[in-house]
């Protein structure tokens, strides 16, 4: 999870535990084995067609490479959408400033269903940077651009 300035770890942990408990209850008590199998098939298909976009956790990629990627993606997003990246720097994450919180939330939801690990705080949308999966940043910029166009 991104560690933004107003990030509250205890709240996030509570939210994750609650979500997992509710999902587990629904999965085990309200879904048939056939439905569970179809969900598994869907998740495998999603992974093949649209791999999970998450921040890089590898220690082998230095801060300088991450900063270059951040600048490259930020410039690409600015050119395509007019959205500016925040000057706040969170390692392995790019914070994109949205016009308002409603746009940030809409984009977060659209990115999440597109298999992107994403977070927003107020008008800032935090998207992952991964030099291993997307070394040029073109995939991340394209996802943000198309999501922005859908959310407007």
Residue 101 confidence (pLDDT): 94
- Calculate mean pLDDT across residues 77-97: 87
pLDDT of 23 over the 70 cut? yes
Measured between alpha carbons, how far apart are the two ends of the chain, in Å? 26
The residues facing 97 across adjacent strands are: 124
Residue scoring higher pLDDT (1 or 20): 20
The domain locations on the chain are 9-49, 63-151
Instruction: Tell whether domain 63-151 is in CATH 3.30.390.50.
Output: no
Q: How far is CA 40 from the centre of its chain?
A: 22
pLDDT of 20 over the 80 cut? yes
How does pLDDT run across 32-47, given as a tens digit for each residue?
A: 999 999 999 998 998 8
């Amino acid at each position: 999870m991104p560690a933004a300035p107003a990030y509250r770890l205890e709240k996030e942990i509570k939210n994750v535990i609650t979500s997992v408990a509710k999902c587990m209850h629904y999965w085990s008590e309200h879904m048939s084995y056939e439905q569970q199998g179809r969900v598994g098939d869907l998740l495998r298909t999603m992974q093949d067609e649209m791999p999970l976009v998450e921040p890089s956790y590898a220690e082998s990629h230095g801060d300088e490479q991450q900063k270059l990627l951040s600048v490259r993606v930020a410039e690409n997003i600015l050119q395509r959408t007019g959205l500016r990246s925040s000057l706040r720097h969170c390692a392995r994450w790019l914070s994109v400033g949205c016009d308002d919180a409603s746009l940030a939330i809409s984009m977060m939801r659209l990115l999440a269903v597109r298999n992107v690990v994403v977070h927003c705080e107020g008008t800032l949308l935090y998207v992952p940077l991964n030099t291993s999966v997307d070394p040029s940043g073109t995939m991340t910029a394209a996802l943000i651009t198309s999501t922005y166009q859908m959310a407007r």
